[in-house]
Amino acid sequence: MAEKRRVKPEDLYELLSVGNPVFSPDGKRAAYVVTGISEEKNDYYSNIFVLDPETKESFQWTHGKCRSHSPAWSPDGTRLAFVSNRNGDPQIYVMNTDGGEAKQVTDAEKGAANPVWSPDGKKMAFTVRVKPGETVLKKGKKEEKEEKKRPEPLEVEKMKYKSDARGLFDGRYQHIAVLDLETEDVRLITEGENSFSPQGWSPDGRYFAFSDIMHEGDDLSFHQDIYLLDWHTGKTENITKGRGMFNQCAWSKSGRYLAVVGHGQEFKNATLNKIWIYDLQEGRFDCLSEGWDIAVGDFMIGDFLQGVAAPRPVWDEDDRGLYFLASREGNTNLYYSDLKGNLRQLTKVEGHVYGFSVSKEGRAIVSAAFPVKPGELYEADLERGSLVPLTAVNRSFLERAELSEPEEIRFAGAEGETVQGWLMKPAGFREGNKYPLILEIHGGPHMMYGNTYFHEFQCLASQGFAVLYTNPRGSHGYGQKFVNAVRGDYGGNDYRDLMLAVDYVLNRFSFIDENRLGVTGGSYGGFMTNWIVGHTNRFKAAVTQRSISNWISFYGVSDIGYYFNEFQHMLDPSDFEGLWKISPLAYVDHIETPLLILHSEKDYRCPIEQAEQLFIALKHRKKPVKFVRFPEANHELSRSGKPNLRIRRLHYIADWFKQYLLP
């Protein structure tokens, strides 16, 4: 057998993401999406495949280097809708499942997305972006654009005028349109200065559920509500009534119940997601999962998966209960609950189940990833909790690449509670040798490291570094008290948790060289990297990514800044003394660690001025610092940015640590 090679950043061009499995109505086939990267086009592409669960054979239904995704079976299973940008803007296409060419059924000016079939298969709801008062414009009905559009000023009257995901507000909101597939008539069913997402028709077709998005028209509203449109009366009812953040609805098979994922914001944006049930017959909206103390949903952080949509809950056939994902202690698994709240974990893997579909017979397919195995499809045995592979799209990479298997650790945190983490040995590890260690800190902070494939970690291990990553207080997966503990305490016990993690591995693993320690992280992890180097010199090199250095200015420049300080720090924006006390920039005179600053120029979540302030302050003091700016990139650079920039970023990180930590 040939000797395996080390992992390198450029392996992103070879790796494929598998996700979004969805059974056909009869359960005999399952569509899914495979996403890859085109080095030539420096962009992502995706195609739809269909699996026969019995034979385990897959057949490719779309082709090319465009993006085709979001497969949705018609209720009778004879057609498949999907979104594709094969002809420019993303539009919705429909193909017959017995063969033939796909037909484009939308031609919206700014594209269309999120196809949802009506129960009779005659209509389709989807989303478009339009300005208030606009209809769903056809391209052919609009005057030709100038060859080169002239720059226009942006008039701003609201605080919600920019978004890291969408950029600067262009006056358009996401609204829901309904297409009559027979007459081709299209009409909008939502309007106004807000954005909405379709959630689906009731089985009898009478009601249509949809959600709004953070009440975009109201700067000081941070709720998301669920609405029911009655097609018989034309009236719309708000069933959540401004009580929190709700989305991801699922109708029961009888149509009596609507399951909803969300929370009442008791702990602001640190509140655990729960499952709620709306009983249409009794008009009741009750929390099903009040006593669980687990995070409903997938909160795993990674840097590899592409084109993966968060799955909604799925009801069983007799309305007795529903299936859903939840995050717990570094793993995400498939769970089931009956209507009395009796919870059962179905898949029992130390891994990352990030998608699933359940047939009407109770057969389950999941998409899952593991630390040394990127995502694939599996058939889930819901009795034993085990997984049987159905795809092997990354087999070639796994056969040739040397991967580091992480070892789980648990240690006592700052207040005695158990903190979980993982340690990866460097590639080519040999007993008796000493190796440098890099501490990785995740963003959020309300997310979770865990048992999934992380390309950055593997690349660092391949360069000869041990890699330590943990879930300090503030992380999901350990209950409401733990995730809330960081609020009002940034730089306090979260910092101590991280330092205790380093102390623990230094005491337990003799191969780690305590004189060659590095630290890096992004977003909240970037803030914490800045905080660490301002409070200790034990690290010999650091890389801060998309970071925060000044909470005072963050208030006015971030797309979430004007409420984040109050939500997370529990400080008034005018409390300059309090905000400065927890700002890494206040401790810049203490920084001696060589610092590499990586930041995207179009990051609206943690704007680049945060990096600029830190760089100038350090450079002015003649401290060892380097600043790298990534053009045309936002906060998501490491996960979904332009491929060449993602790869350059990985090289910058490794090269900085090699310069200061390797002999």
Q: Do the domain assignments include residue 373?
A: no
How buried is 328 (Cβ within 10 angstroms: 0-12 exposed, 13-18 middle, 19+ buried)? buried
| Mean pLDDT score of the chain | 95
**Which two structure tokens, joined as six digits, stand for 480?**
């409401």
Residue 528 has pLDDT above 70, yes or no: yes
Alpha helices in 605-642 (DSSP H): 609-620, 637-640
Q: How far apart are CA 141 and CA 138, in angstroms?
A: 5
Pairing of strands 435-441, 512-522: parallel
For the residues of 6-35, what is the DSSP string, one character each? EP-GGGGGT--EEEEEEE-TTSS-EEEEEE
CB 522 within 8 A of CB 558: no
What tens digit of pLDDT does each residue of 231-270 get? 999 999 999 999 999 999 999 999 999 999 999 999 999 9
pLDDT score recorded for residue 515 = 98
| pLDDT of residue 489 exceeding 80 | yes
Average pLDDT over residues 214-230: 87
Average pLDDT over residues 546-553: 98
Domain span at residue 576 reads 403-661
Give dist(CA 174, CA 128) in Å, integer.
6
> What SS3 class is residue 629?
strand
In this prediction, residue 138 carries a pLDDT of 62
- Compute the distance between CA of residue 203 and CA of residue 181 in angstroms, rounded to an integer: 19
pLDDT at residue number 135? 81
Does the residue 262 lie in any domain? Answer: no
d(CA 230, CA 207): 5
Shortest CA distance to 563 belongs to which of 167, 248, 225, 223?
223
- In a domain, residue 64? The reply is no
Catalytic residue among 263, 352, 442, 635: 635
The pLDDT assigned to 137 comes to 61
Task: Examine residue 595 and state whether it is found in any structural domain, yes or no.
Answer: yes
Which pLDDT score is estimated for 99? 86
For residue 533, the SS3 value is helix
Q: Which of 8-12, 219-223, 308-312 has the lowest mean pLDDT?
A: 219-223
156: in domain = no
pTM here is 0.96
Does residue 323 form part of some domain? no
Residue 134 has pLDDT above 90, yes or no: no
Residue 544 has a pLDDT of 99
Rg (CA), the chain: 25
Alpha carbons 545 and 532: distance in angstroms, whole number: 14
CATH number, domain at 544? 3.40.50.1820
The answer to the question of residue 512 being in a domain is yes
Residue 523 is a catalytic residue: yes
**351 vs 192 pLDDT, higher one:** 351
274-307 pLDDT tens trace: 999 999 999 999 999 999 999 999 999 999 999 8
pLDDT digits (tens, 9 = 90+) for 79-119: 999 999 999 999 999 999 998 899 999 999 999 999 999 99
Burial class of residue 401, CB neighbours in 10 A (0-12, 13-18, 19+): buried
* Distance from chain centroid for Cα 68: 19
In-domain check, residue 434: yes
**Residue 143 in this model has a pLDDT that exceeds 50:** no
Total domains in the chain come to 1
Backbone angles phi and psi of 474, in degrees to 5: 105, -20
- Phi, psi dihedrals of residue 232, rounded to the nearest 5°: -75, -40
Task: Give one DSSP letter per residue of 212-252, joined into a string.
Answer: ESTTTT-TT---B-EEEEETTT--EEESSTTSSEEEEEEE-
Peptide bond into 445 cis (omega under 30): yes
Q: What DSSP character marks residue 393?
A: T
Give the pLDDT confidence score for residue 218 in this predicted structure.
Answer: 85
Q: What pLDDT score does 142 carry?
A: 45
The band of 148, judged by pLDDT with boundaries at 50, 70 and 90, is low
Instruction: Check whether 599 has a pLDDT greater than 90.
Output: yes
Q: Model confidence over 22-48: pLDDT tens digits?
A: 999 999 999 999 999 999 999 999 999
The token pair at 135 is 């209809």
Instruction: Kindly tell me if the per-residue pLDDT of 215 is higher than 80.
Output: no
Which candidate, 377, 376, 371, places its Cα nearest to that of 401?
A: 371
pLDDT of residue 1: 56
Q: Of 165, 169, 174, 31, whose CA–CA distance to 112 is shortest? A: 174
Q: What was the pLDDT predicted at 144? A: 46
Candidates 534, 544, 542; CA nearest to 608 is 544
**Active-site residue, selected from the candidate residues 118, 202, 211, 523:** 523
- 135-139, 455-459, 656-660, range with the lowest pLDDT: 135-139
